[in-house]
Amino acid sequence: MHIGEEIHVIGDWFILHFTENNGMAFGLQFAGDWGKLFLSLFRVAAIVVIAIYLFRVIKKGEKKGFIFSISLILAGAIGNMIDSAFYGMIFSESYNNIAQLFPQGGGYASFLHGRVVDMFYFPILKGNYPDWLPFLGGDRFIFFRPVFNVADSAITVGVFILIFFQKHLFPNKFIEENKI
C-alpha cells in the first residue's frame, strides 16, 4: 500500500488506512533527527522501567488483572519501539509509491529513526457542525478520527483497565497508603 491508501473492511465504518507516524500519539513529534533519537531512547528507557516494575509485581503476587494491564502496556510499547527501530531500515520510502521490502541500498531511515505504521481507522460518526456554532459552524467533523495500530490498542486497553478497575487492581499497599 502507499501512504493514504484505504481498504474498506466494513463499509465506511472500519477502514484499513495506511499511514506512518513520525512521532508520538496523534502525530506529535520533537524537532528533527535529534528529537526522533531522543524519543526512541526515551521509549527504550520506559520499556526497561515498565519491565522491571512488571517483574517486581509478578514476584509479589499482585492481582492478575493488574499484571495483565501492565503487560498490555509493556507489549504495546515494545511493539511501537520495534516498528520505530527497524521499519525504516527494511522498507523504502512510501510517499507517492508503494514501499519496497529490503530495497537495494537500504531503507529510508537508520536504526531508531523509522516511523510507526498505523492502519486502523474507525470514523464512527460523520457530519457537519451546526451553522450557529461559533468558529466551527458548517465545518465537517468526524468522530473518532485517529488512525492507530495493534500496539496502540494494547496500551490504551491496558490503561483503561487500570483506570476503570483501579480499586480492584492496584496493589493493596498502594491503596492503603493513598487511602483510595
Going residue by residue through the chain (180 aa), what tens digit of pLDDT does each one get? Answer: 888 899 999 988 899 999 988 766 666 666 777 778 888 889 999 999 999 999 999 999 989 999 999 999 999 999 999 998 999 999 998 888 888 899 998 898 889 888 899 999 999 888 999 999 999 989 999 988 889 999 999 999 999 999 999 888 875 665 556 565
Task: Identify the active-site residue in 12, 33, 118, 139.
Answer: 118
Whole-prediction pTM: 0.82
Which cell numbers hold the place of 140? 465537517
Look at residue 73 in the predicted model and tell me its pLDDT.
97
- Nearest alpha-carbon partner for 168 in 53, 69, 75, 74: 69
Q: Spot the catalytic one: 33, 131, 139, 152.
A: 152
Per-residue pLDDT, 176: 59
Annotation says 131 is catalytic = no
Residue 175 pLDDT = 53
Contacts of 128 by beta carbon, 8 Å cutoff, 6+ apart: 138, 139, 140, 141
Please choose, from the candidates 143, 146, 147, 112, the residue with its C-alpha nearest in 3D space to the C-alpha of residue 127: 143
3-12: list long-range contacts, CB under 8 Å, 24+ apart.
Answer: 3/94, 3/95, 3/96, 6/121, 12/123, 12/126
User: How many helices and strands (H and E) does the chain possess?
Assistant: 5, 6
Residue 122 CB: number of other CB atoms within 10 A?
17
In this prediction, residue 93 carries a pLDDT of: 87
Q: Tell me the β-bridge partners of 19.
A: 118
For 136, the grid coordinates are: 466551527
Contacts of 17 (CB under 8 A, 6+ apart): 4, 5, 6, 118, 119, 120, 121, 147
Of 140, 104, 121, nearest to 21 by C-alpha is: 121
152 annotated active-site = yes
